[in-house]
Structure 1
Amino acid sequence: MKIDDQDKVYDDINITPMLDVAYVLLLIFIIMTTATVQGITVNLPKASNTPAMSKPKTKAISITPDGSIYLDTYPVSLQELETRLAQYKAATPDLPVVVKADASVQYQKVIDVLDIVTRLQISQLGLVTQKLVK
């Protein structure tokens, strides 16, 4: 009796090639991860629990349409602005300052504020503008 191979039904899947691929991928993963860890072993010093030095906080000077001046969110006069900026400058010599003035404010107010910033020798100064939309 001759059995016809064409009529035979295969009801199982050969997973050997799939396992071969999985083993090769696992081997490559193991080699790559251990290769990046190699190096000279050193005994690292311990850091203290104190927080790292952070960048100084930027101070924002805002000038409203009616000419009022704000340092961050607090209203100040020109004299108070100079006093407070001098205190901040003494604490952090590289104090960054940004000036935000309304488009309709008097030009002299902006010049007065910039004069104070220049007098205090604050070199990190930014002027906030609005992006032009076309």
Structure 2
Amino acid sequence: MALGGPNGDAGGDDEVGGGIFADINITPLTDIFLVLLIIFMVTTTAIAEAGQEKGGFKVNLPKGGKGEVSAVPQDLAVAILADGRAVIGGKVLDDEALRRAFGEVRGRNADTVVLVQADEGVPHGRVVQVMELARGEGLARLAIATRAGGGGR
């Protein structure tokens, strides 16, 4: 569409002169933007993957005062064998030694979780007895370990 001819008239279609055109071709501009987008996507992915292996960018962090570090509760695993014996840390313990072990753990951290790992053949009463020993020594966080995917028989 011609906006004006050489002598200022709007002219018709039969005019072949050098008029001013208002159309802009944005295809090359779109191509450039798409190429830049792909470049940014590739570089940010490379930076993110490098960050997982090497810790990302090196930043000098400001020094601060020491924060209050709270004790993280630890698990104490108690295995109960099929014959009813209790095992902690690979040592077979009788009830009195088990009570002392619970007392020592309570002295270090009262929030310790006692994880009871009982064999399937252990009577329920024995599991409860070990849990009551732990509870009697002040360890109130008790858990029973199970095998994943068990839906019963």
TM-score, with length taken from structure 2: 0.54
Percent identity between the two aligned chains:
17
For these two proteins, the number of residue pairs brought into alignment is 104
Match of 2:31 among 12, 18, 34: 18
Q: Which moved more, 1:55-64 or 1:101-110?
A: 101-110
Q: Hey, what does 1:46 align to over in structure 2?
A: 64
Give the match's secondary structure for 1:118. Answer: helix
Q: Which structure: larger Rg?
A: 2
Q: Hey, what does 1:106 align to over in structure 2?
A: 123
Alignment RMSD: 3.3
Give the match's secondary structure for 1:122. Answer: coil
CA drift at 1:88:
0.8
Q: Which runs of 5+ in 2 are unaligned?
A: 1-26, 42-60
Relative to structure 1, the CA distance from residue 110 to residue 16 in structure 2 (aligned partners, 3 Å threshold; closer, same or farther) is: closer
Find out whether 1:132 has 2:151 as its counterpart: yes
Q: 2: distance between equivalents of 1:121 and 1:85?
A: 8
Q: Which is bigger in relative contact order (C-alpha 8 A, separation at least 6)?
A: 1
Q: Which runs of 5+ in 1 are unaligned?
A: 1-13, 30-42
Q: 2: distance between equivalents of 1:81 and 1:91?
A: 16
Relative to structure 1, the CA distance from residue 115 to residue 93 in structure 2 (aligned partners, 3 Å threshold; closer, same or farther) is: same
- Which amino acid in structure 2 is aligned with residue 117 of structure 1? A
TM-score, with length taken from structure 1: 0.60
